[in-house]
Every structure is written in C-alpha cells, then in structure tokens.
A and B are shown apart, each in its own frame.
Chain A
Amino acid sequence: MSAEHDHHSEAHGHHEQSFVQKYVFSVDHKVIGIQYTISALFFLLFGFCLMMMMRWQLAYPGEALPLIGTWFSEANMPGGVMVPEFYNQLGAMHGTIMVFMGVVPLAVGGFGNYVLPLQIGAPDMAFPKLNMASFWVFLPGGVIMLASFFVEGGAAQSGWTSYAPLANIAPAGQTWWLVGMIFLITSSLLGSINFIVTTVQLRAEGLSYFRLPFFVWAQFVTSFLLLLAFPPLEAAGILQLMDRVAGTSFFLPAGLVITGQPLEVAGGGSPLLWQHLFWFLAHPEVYVLILPAMGIVSEIVANNTRRPLWGYRTLVYSVIFLGFMSFIVWAHHMFMTGMGTAMSTFFQATTMIISIPSVIILTALALSFHGGSIRFNTPMLFALTFIPMFAIGGLTGLPLGLTAADLHLHDTYYVIGHFHYVVAPGTVFALLAGIYYWFPKVTGRKMSEGLGKIHFWLSLIGMNVVFMPMFSIGMAGVSRRLYDQTQYAYGAQVQELTIIGSYGAWLLGVAQIFFIINLIKSIRGGEKVESDNPWQATTLEWATPTPPPHGNFTEVPKVYRDPYEYSVPGAKSDFTPQFSEEG
C-alpha cells in the first residue's frame, strides 16, 4: 500500500477502507454493480466491433477490409481479406460475448446489483462476499474468452451454440471457450442465489410482494431462471470439456469419419444430448435477456407518463408465467433434428402459449401511455421504443414457433432478424434507457440530453436498417452463418439488402460514439442534479443520498404504498413516493 494511501486512511479515521477494498475487491453492491456495468459495456463494444468486421465480409465477400484489415495476422486476414475460419470465430464470439459477457452481466450484474437492493430498501445484498466472488469469477471468465483469440487456431468457431461434434473437433480455442463459460456460469449462479435471498429477506418494512417495483419482480424471476437453467449448461460444458481433453464420448457417436480419417473414440454418445442440455439453458436465457429489460422499461414508462402502470398485477402474473413456461419450450430450437410428431406438437403448443403473456405485457405497457402526461427525455425515448421493437421481435417469433413455417425459415436470416429485434433494439435499448435513467443517482449528474437524443435517433435508424432486411433475406431462403451468401443464387439475389444492412451496422457504430462521449463527459462535467430525486420518481432508490453511501439509506426506510403512485387525485404533487408517509 502506498504512503499516500496510508495518509488518506489516517485522515478519515480507521474505519475508512483502503482503495483496493473500496473499488477493487469491494463487497458494496453498488461498486460491484458499477464494476459489472463497466466491464459489460466494454465487452458489448468489443462484441459489436467483431460484428462490424463481419458485416464487411458479408457485404463485400473476399474484398480486403479497408483501414484496419492489415492490423490482423496473416493467418486470419491474409492481405486484409478475412478467411472463413476467422469469420466463424468472429461469429461465435460475437454471440457468446454479447449474450454471456455483455447483456446478461449488464442487465443482472449491473442493474440488478446496483438498483435492486436500493429499490427494496436494503443496506446491501444478503451475501456481500458472495456478490464480490460473483464479479471476480465473471471477470476472469471474460478475460479467458478474449484471450482465446490468441491461442493456436484462434478462438471458438462453432457458433455460440457450440454444437457437438463440430465443437469437439474444433481447435484449442473451443477448450478455452468451455473454461470461460464455466467461469461465467458459476458467476451467474452465485449472483442469482444472492438476488433471490436478498429479495425474500431484506425488503423494507411495509414492502410486501405486491408493492415491489416491477423491476424487482423481473429480476426476481430472472434469478430463478438463472439458478435453475444454468446448472445443466455448466454440466454440459464440463462434459464437452471432458470429451475434448479426457477422451470421453458424451456427445460423440461411434464411426465418425473426419476429413477421411476415422475418429478414434469410444463412441456411444449423442450429438443431440448437447443440444438438449444447451437449449434447456439457452431458452430460459432468452427470458434472462428480456425480463430485466421489461423491468427497466416499466420503471421509466411509469415515471415519464406520470401515471401508474396499467395492470401491475397482470404484469407480475405474466412475468411469473413467462418464467415458468420458458423451461418447457426449448426444443423449438430443434424442430429440424428429425423430431417426431408428438414432441413437435408439444413444443409448438407451448411456444404458442408463451407468446400470450408477452402479448399481455406489451398491451399493458402500451395502455399505460393512455391518459398519461408524457415526458420525452432520453431515457423515455429509449424505453418507449423498446415496446414496438420488442413487438416486432415477438411477432416474428410466431412463424418460427410453428413447425410448418419453420420448415422453410429454420436457421435462416429470419431467425437472426427475429432474435436481434428482441435483444438489440429491444433489450439493449432498455439497458441504455436504464443507464440514462439511473446515471444521476450513481454520479449526481445528468447525462447530456442533446447527445443522448443524437445517440437515440441514430441508433434507432441503424438498428432497423440492419435488422429489418434480414426478414426478407431469410424469407428468400438464405442460411445463417454463411461466409459468403452469393455462393447461392437466392443469396446473390438479395445481396443488396445485405449491403444496406452493413451500412446500418456501421451507422449504429457511429451512433455509439455519441454515447461514449456523453458517458465520459457527463461523469465529470454533466449538469449537477439539485435533488436526490431528479426524475420525481416514486420508488425507494430515490430516497437515498446521491450518490448513495456505503449502507445506502441514512435512515431505515419504510414503505407506505404501491410503487407507482403518480398523479394521485388530491395529492400535493404529481408523485407520491413509496417512502412518503403522507399522500
């Protein structure tokens, strides 16, 4: 420890924590939340950059990548031209990074950690050290994933789904991927158990379950999904690791002939077993991506329409039902594996059923705008746009959920368009909304509205220009994960759309520059907030000092009412906080 640091500690008395305790190995949920947020934003940017490179190859197959093409190794980009192996690495890692290192850590690790304890009036999480462990397992997992680009043969290249046997016979990067995944999954498990216990045990006096902000409900259900769905994938990851390093055959049948050479393994395994284990996680994972986003959007919509959410209880029941149903739809990812009628009937029926609560949630959110007094600030713009974007993503899930339509659309660009509408202009917009919304609580300053609006409009255009053409490309029959779609007559036919999409992706990249500038500039130079509750919101996180100190609340909070008491007739102002005793 440095002398300067000792001096600092002395000056503030012996209870003061060291820099390392306070900002590195912190047990404070807020610091951990910020650590998660910053790492996840970095990973999101990195994963997005991988995709922007892929978009060049997709638009102009076989042409040298301008400007940065020569920065890469001869093995990956000889003469600046991407080789198919490298394209596959970028694809697999884009998916992995965005889902497991970007969106989930930001939505759950970042927002969940920072906001949930504040919203329930808790001084911290139930298990602060477990919380710290969760982050410090997550970060090495992320580092391992990124480092895998530098091992012999490059990073994982069998898709983010890592289907066996392709993943079994892939170069060493796949082993790194599996080890990285085991770290990331362990991190999520530690986090989820903590969220559940915290929500059950540490709610403030008066904060009954049906007074919980919807964000807390969303995180609560999400935690159950993580807790119950991740262990099968962790097991599957270990099994695939054993297949690769210990010579087992969990996912390998006998008699494989790889490029003319018989594969010397015991055999007896099943490639489909991997898919079942993977999708048993990865379908609930979709809801892990979307539920916290719905939570964030609900907070911001209630706050900026200045009226209670329409059908709060309906929303809560829907989200619980979604969580439950998400465990019994996974095999709709496997309709084309040779599934029998009984199985496919069951899974397409459950898939249609799970669309109902989503429709109800969207309807409730839309009806919440009726009769409101709507403020269009940056967080609100992102939050309200989530609703139609998620609607597009949800609706386009219907043809994929029906086996007959899926016969044509399975594994085409239609699928990519569908889930990106859910996750990118859906979830990512909600997460951005959350950053703009809670930034004043975290830093005591607001982010720039001007830059925020530029960021919003450019992102909205960029997102739609990338993803909307994908429905047409997929309908035309183009398979996903193709290094060069012009190899096929129908791919060449829609190549212009792919080129347009690429410009959309790059525009989206430009849009994020405004966000990054805004973020950095506002931390030091943003407009200072006058009050602890700058948005005039009703939930408990705004009862804390700004930024909240260690332990959060200066006095033990007590809850007197429902979460969204805006514009109560006869009240003094248009918002009546949960923590306010008189109406």
Chain B
Amino acid sequence: MSLPTPIYDLKQFDSVYEPSEDTFLFIDALEADLEYIHSLRPSCILEVGSGSGIVITSLARHFQTQCLFFATDINPVACLCTKQTAYLNNVVVHCTNMNLYCNFKSIFDIILFNPPYVCTEDSEIKPGINRSWAGGRDGRIIIDQFLSQLKLFLSDSGVCYMVALKENKPYEIMATMKVLGFNSCIIKERRILGEHLFVIRFIKEGNLK
C-alpha cells in the first residue's frame, strides 16, 4: 500500500506553507502505518492545520468513499488551498476555517497534525504565513494547546499522528501525554537540513488495538 504525493498548485496561495521535508516525512510515516490505519476502519479523519492540504488529500485518495475527510486551518487562504488540492485530485475534503479543532462537537477516528513547531519568540505567532511555522517557546505553544484537548476530539479507539522537532522535546511530550491518558510511540524519525524530525503516534490508554 502506498500514498503517492497528490497534485498541488500553490500559485494563487502565497500565504500557505509550501510542502517541504516535514510534509513528505509525515506522508511517509502515514504510508508506513497504513495497515494499522485500515485495521481501525476509520469513518472520519481530520487534519488540523492542513495548509496546502496534501497530507489529508493523500489519505482521501487512498480511502476514497470508505471514509470522510475533514480539514481545519486558522488561515482562510489555507482552507481554500486545501479545498483546491482535494479538487485537483478528484476527492472531497470538508474544510472549515477555525483554530485547531475547537468548533467540533464530534469525535474523529484519526487526527493528523503537522504543527507550527519552530522555536521562536512567542510574539512571532501572528496571523498569516507565520502561523504555519512559528511555535513560540521550545516550539511548543501551539503543540501544547492541541495536545491538551486531544482527548475530547479523538474516539476511544482512535489514533493521532503529530510531527515534532527534536527541540520540541518529543520524549517530554510523550511523558506528558502518558499523564493525560495516552500511550505514544515514535513511528518515524529523519534528520534533514539541520532539523531532526519525528512523527509521534498517540493512542488512548486502554485501547489494545
């Protein structure tokens, strides 16, 4: 099973994060975990902060009508871009402009998040393209907001995949998540251009699948 890179075109969307090494690492990690994802028989998959939309679209192409795909982004231009990327690849991704997942009432079987993980001053977290990368102290401001609410939005048998940087202290994140009731493991790791990237998988404790 594979997840080919979807077609995308960012020409009209200059405030959207261009797919880079971290994006492709994320797709590679999901591809390596596809058998597990299938075993969950997901019906609703959400990507938070979808940007260009190529990650959620790669899964949508794979699962077609067996599943629904949702995406959120705080940047309205990124929502439009995600919608276009889905369209270019003949799939549907339901996009909503919101902060993380705070406007959802429902739970999801799979949640994906490639967060703004770059260590910056907190003041760098400001509207526009900055929101796609600026992560504040230790790159953890947005990551911690996201993870602190994950339990509310993930189904009991669900799984969350998140990208992190070494500077975000992934092992500390995993220890914190243990306290919040999640088992976690690193499913992919890569060193590129001065960045040491990880993809972490979170599963609710008590879920033996």
A joins B in a complex: no
Chain B residues in the interface with A (C-beta under 8 A): none
Chain A residues in the interface with B (C-beta under 8 A): none
